[in-house]
Structure 1
């Protein structure tokens, strides 16, 4: 039966194809017949793609940023976390309270052009944006998102030029033991906690009366609970570990002192006007009907 089946030309053809296809043939780059005078075989090179002399063939990939936001104790400040370093390592935080100050930061100038932005703060790996009390986050946040994403995708630094290092808590030759302990505690325990809230602290000195002079920055600077942060948080920790510390005092810059005095004067005048209105109106005022 097998001999009759193979007598068919078509069956013989199929059988021959099956037999050949089942054999594993491996090609090796060796010469089958070589002689001592045969030159060595060089492998063929893969042809390269033609390239324009002025346009090299370069494949680039752009990373897509995934920016997260975190609330801060200050309802008018929002912390934006891009997932990559914002400032160089060991750099001091940078804060702008107006567009005129942001001469070395294109991103900060762009953010100040948005209606309602009052402060821009750069931390090690986050950006804190503070708005005016009458602005709404659900209208402002998408625009801040767009500006930060577009700028960081270009790969440019947020601060042009040299960025100062964080030297306020750096150990110095003339520091006493108490000052060294204060700086170490601020740098290792207190500063990371303040940065978690979108702000930072700056050491300004230690007085003979035992007062630690600090300046709050970022979201903590304009927060209503800044006094609570200083007294219940920083002051309690410093006094617990260092007995020479008797308290913590907040330090303001000259511009901030002027603004605070003007605000206190405005509140005093407003209270005086309200007091005069209360005397000249109402059921017992001079304008009341006899």
Structure 2
């Protein structure tokens, strides 16, 4: 068995499927030990395919070490137990990817917010608050070792209307988490960034694209794989100039060009800055 204390140790939340799974796989392929969290333990128990155990096994097959941990990120006690386990087993934490997010089935349906279920606000619990809680637990471990990276998975919806106000507030909120946490973490050599992913090629989006092929035909061929984001996270962590990027919102497609990263089959995903806007400026003032 690989000595956990000798490998880069990462926690990727919400990694049963989708973006989290792809990020976890990419980090595993780079040799990391990855704690894979999520609620799905048995295939078929969720509407979409994927489990934390399947992700962990696939990480092992790629040369990393996958450790599945069942965790509901809406339950603070379960989150505390997760990070206690990481501390006891690995003794360190190098990367935290805050990806767990509540996605309501009606999120992408047309219509104003008051005509959609009030449960849409669940994304402000698992998606926004959950990222704060996980980072709260991760920060002391990273500070103790003098280096670390906290990542929030975000999107262009932080700065344009996308899927309604609950989704937009969650994305804008985690972008601000990255900025403000970076202020607190900077003296300790720990970085925090938010990554704007483009359209992702996941099981969820593929179902939508199959139902509405004309609507998504223009960008489906250049949609990003979830692993693409994971390769960027790995490149960021290995970047000697990481602290220069701390507190920033980075567009994955643009960061990929900087690091020389291409997606599967040689695809270079485009940035949607011109059509959806870029990260808004943040004032450098600090009021304590």
Structure 2-normalised TM-score?
A: 0.24
Structure 1-normalised TM-score?
A: 0.24
Report the structure, 1 or 2, having the larger helix content. Answer: 2
